[in-house]
Amino acid sequence: MLFDFVPPEIIAIFGDTYDILVLFAPYLIPIAAFGVFMVVWKNYVVAHFIHEMEWVLLEIKLPQEIEKSPQAMELALTILHQTSKGSWVDQWWNGKVRAWFSLEIVSIEGSVHFFVYTQKFHSKLIQSHFYSQYPNIEIQEVDDYTHGVNFGEDGSDWDVWGTEFKHTEADAYPIRTYIDYELDKKGSKEEIEKVDPLTPFIEFFGSIGKGEQLWFQILVRASEKKYGKTWWNKGRDWKKEGEELVKKLRKPEAKPGQTIVYDTKLLSPGEERVIKSLQRSLSKLAFDVGLRGIYLHKKDAVNHYNKPGIIMAVKQYNSEDMNGFKPNGKYLTDFDYPWEDFMGVRLAKRKRIIFNAYKKRSFFHPPYERTPIVLSTEELATIYHLPGQVVTTPTVHRLPSRTGEPPRDLPR
């Protein structure tokens, strides 16, 4: 016989298992089918809800002088912390999701612009908060600049290089923020002497030439207490992870059975700085964040330096003893070895995906769902704030000198 070599005990076990499956199949199959149906249904109603959203692109036009620190932007960004996602009925019947936004820094042939991509429903409220912190700026609804690039269409002479970014360490570790650079202190230094990590980023964006564009996208939504949570995964608690990290860095010393005592005298200056940054970060609002950078160029105007230039510009926020950003190789439009991408098929696919994902501002939901990182409002304001006179790039679009007032129709 075919299975004569199999011990009878094993055959008996499999026979019993088969009998059990046959016995419970009438109950298990409907349960499994219901589970699949719920997943498909949820994806459908969410996709429909997102499709019906009305979006606008707001451009922030900078005045000649901005004397405020990034702390003003931190206060303005709190309006983006929209936690409501409705009732259970809203989520499962109407497909309602937490609001998300896109903060964007864009260079079009060296002309640098600041944008906020938002649902029209939130537009007036966002403008009101930004004007409250920066009364001399001007905010206008503009056409979407991404529609000016026809990459992927027949006859297009555009090419794309891009990547998404992830943390170098666990999310609980903060990046080096504007407070660490002492940009929050007034009167301690002349502004021109301050070191703003945004400066080399903007300088790089302003250096590109004709036929080139650089797009940088920061997608944000309010982070839940447990991020990455699904019905099959309990998720991770960002705040709890940070508190555990603080305890670990404080070097607990105790004998078995005794209460742990944290001896701060044993901490090095670097460890003290990390703990202070951690505690400050944990006291602030948290956002789920997706970072995406793209270099676009006409095929006869390519500057290969600008490809790693995006990565180097983002590395300005990195710190050896805390956190930073690095390319997510899964979405990088590049390969180390030729055999990884036979005939360029995978590269072409990655280019289409990152370009379309950027245009759709898709990150938290299909069709381009990703795993976000977590940043506090302080970290977010460090990588996205309105530059002062320390940024001397002439291509940063600024308004003529004047004293302006916000529109009168904004909500109070």
For the chain, what are the domain ranges?
1-52, 92-116+143-383
Q: Would the pLDDT of 192 be above 50? A: no
359 vs 147: CA distance, rounded Å? 8
381 vs 400: CA distance, rounded Å? 25
Ranked by mean pLDDT, which of 1-10, 170-179, 189-198, 224-233 comes out on top? 170-179
Q: Kindly report, residue by residue over 218-262, the tens digit of the pLDDT.
A: 999 999 866 555 554 556 687 888 888 888 877 655 445 545 455
Average pLDDT, the chain: 82
pLDDT band at residue 407 using 50, 70 and 90 as cut-offs: low
Kindly state the average pLDDT of the residues 51-75.
90
Q: Kindly report, residue by residue over 80-138, the tens digit of the pLDDT.
A: 998 877 777 877 878 788 899 999 999 999 999 999 999 999 999 999 999 999 999 99
- Is residue 289 within 8 Å of 372, Cβ to Cβ? yes
Tokens of 260: 């742990």
- Is residue 69 within 8 Å of 123, Cβ to Cβ? no
Residue in the block written with tokens 């003529």? 400
Q: How far is CA 127 from CA 53, 117, 293, in A?
A: 19, 12, 25
Residue 330, SS3 per DSSP: coil
Please report the pLDDT score of residue 394 as a whole number: 56
Residue 109, SS3 per DSSP: coil
Print burial letters for 112-136: b (CB count within 10 Å at least 16), e (below 16). Answer: bbbbbbbeeebbeebbbbbbebbeb
Which residue, among 82, 103, 157, 99, has the nearest Cα to 292 in the 3D structure? 103
Find the DSSP H helices in 289-393.
306-314, 345-360, 377-383
Q: Would the pLDDT of 356 be above 90? A: yes
Specify the higher pLDDT residue, 194 or 285.
Answer: 285
392 vs 385: CA distance, rounded Å? 15
